[in-house]
Amino acid sequence: MIGRGYFVTATDTGVGKTFVTAALAASLRARGRDVAVFKPVQSGAAADDPSGDAVLLGADCVYAFSAPLAPLVAARAGGRTIELEPILARAGELAREHDLLLVEGAGGLLVPLADDLDLADLAAALGLPLVIVARAGLGTVNHTLLTIEAARTRGLDVAGVVLNGKGDESTAENAALIEERSGVRVLAQVPRLADPADAAGYFDEFLG
């Protein structure tokens, strides 16, 4: 159990976990916090690939697979098995060395990692509350409520939801509807921006 920081998950792959994690890190660092960023499992890019999340975030990574496949599939294809223990060991080291930890998941919450392990198990083992990144536009209410319901079923705390990216005419009502239906706060609505650092200010209310 690390218990200091956030586990950033999303309603789907490509929704903006890395962007939001980088923005949160920038915002926390602007507050003088010593933040470690951790991307325990990455697929689609080797650990040192400059286009991969680990390098983009300056994050530690335990399992990296260059195949653009779901982590469990990529691991099997490479004859490897993703295990919780090395991830928790690295997280423990990072937590000892830093004030807090931002962990980016992979894909969404129920993405399988091994035969008896998925991302929700990892979040639970780390003891970190979830920040759920969701698309801003149409379809997001359903996907966000599904993720919140799954998180609750798995006993996970949800710190809040971030609506990210280009919205549409549904966006204005989406935040209110998510809050009304789930009781979970929408922490920020981040528009399309050139750089994650430009989004840091959107977390002022959440981070205080």
17 touches ligand ATP (CB under 6 A): yes
CB of 101 to Mg ion, least distance (A): 16
d(Cα 94, Cα 171) in Å, to the nearest integer?
Answer: 37
Binding flags for Mg ion, 2-31, as an x/- string (CB under 5 A): ---------------xx-------------
Within the chain, where are the H helices? 17-30, 53-57, 71-77, 84-97, 119-126, 140-153, 171-182, 204-207
The smaller minimum CB distance to ligand ATP, of residues 43 and 182, is found at 43
CB of 183 to Mg ion, least distance (A): 27
Strand-strand pairing, 112-114 and 117-118:
antiparallel
| Among Mg ion, ligand ATP, none, partner that 14 touches (CB below 5 to 8 angstroms by kind) | ligand ATP
| Among Mg ion, ligand ATP, none, partner that 192 touches (CB below 5 to 8 angstroms by kind) | ligand ATP
Q: Is 39 a catalytic residue?
A: yes
164 touches ligand ATP (CB under 6 A): yes
The answer to whether the Cα torsion of 59, 43, 142, 198 is positive or negative is positive
Q: Which residues are catalytic?
A: 39
